Amino acid sequence: MFCLLLFLAASLSSCYNQASQTPDAWSLTDKQQDSISFYSTHHYTQNFNFVVKGDSMVLYELRSDERGDNLAYQGEDSVVIPPGERVVVADIVYVPTDTIDSVWVKLAHDQTTQGWIQESSMLGNVKPDDPISWFIDFFSDSHLLIFLALLVVVGAAYSIRLIRRRRAMIVHWNDFNSVFPMSLTLLVSTAAVVYATIQNFAPEVWRHFYYHPSLNPFVLPPILSFFMALVWTILIVSIAALDDIIRGFSFGEAVLYTMGLAAVCAVDYVLFSISTLYYIGYPLLVSYFVYAVHQHRSLKGESYRCGNCGQRIAHLGICPHCGADNV
């Protein structure tokens, strides 16, 4: 749109003034071109805000060498930035003499607290100053993911065992006549596959999203837009499923069913996230869709309520909840 307006303005002005154009007014300096090139590959540039995480971060001083055209690390003076403090990128330079990491970044905490650090050291000690980026950073920790995976497996096994012992309802196996719980499990599984697909085939797209996150699917690249649309749909379907659960069960039964639904969703997410990294998740997702839809369509609707306890039952006869005989 801006280019179109610029073109129209130039065209209209040419009707009144046939003087030569001034391309120098629109040319970029070498530093600006370098900044744009750096941003396209590193996803941040000058004036970008970070937050220090983990341990304190040490900033050093860079001084010109004897030739005056290159910068060399001197290392006598240093500044320590504690965790949780915000810093801004003040400058970025290349140090050809540094064989470990030639990219050095100048960070500023305030007017007096400034210094330089190698980019490789900086990235491990900072995160973008955005709540969504913090969330991504928190759940990207490998040790945390292993712990959560084990927690999910143990929690799901315990929940499903508890539900089966009490003969309570659970999605897919002993469900009730609502499409939302089944839809929620399928949406979570699909989102896990899409997320793993991004990690496999478009890691730079996710990296850029990490630095510049948005919850608006209409401003994101297609695959991220689809993933974000799934996230919003999961939120909406979760509310709808919870409403049906509350309406269809007593408080105790609703808690058990919700625990079972959460356990199945958690297992689905872990299973499809890991399996898709090895390309097994794609056929597995198709099979899961077929199985879930078949199970839901084959379930008998609970058209009756027990005359003694008021719980829903699939047919007349002995109530599985209280043992009363319904005729």
pLDDT tens digits, one per residue of 11-26: 333 333 333 343 443 4
The mean pLDDT of 247-260, rounded to a whole number, is 84
CA–CA separation, 24 and 38 (whole Å): 23
- Where does 100-233 show beta strands of DSSP type E? 103-108, 114-118, 126-128
Backbone angles phi, psi at 280, to 5 degrees: -85, -20
At 286 the pLDDT is: 97
Q: What angle do CA 246, 179, 165 make, to 5 degrees?
A: 60
Retrieve residue 40's tokens.
């396209």
What are the tens digits of pLDDT across the range 67-117? Answer: 444 555 555 568 889 999 999 999 888 877 777 888 889 999 888 888 888
Q: Cα-flanking dihedrals φ and ψ of residue 293, to 5°?
A: -65, -40
How does residue 173 score in pLDDT terms, banded at 50, 70 and 90?
confident
CB proximity list for 87: less than 8 A, separation 6 or greater: 49, 50, 51, 52, 57, 81, 107, 108, 109, 126
Other C-beta atoms closer than 10 Å to the C-beta of 307 total: 14
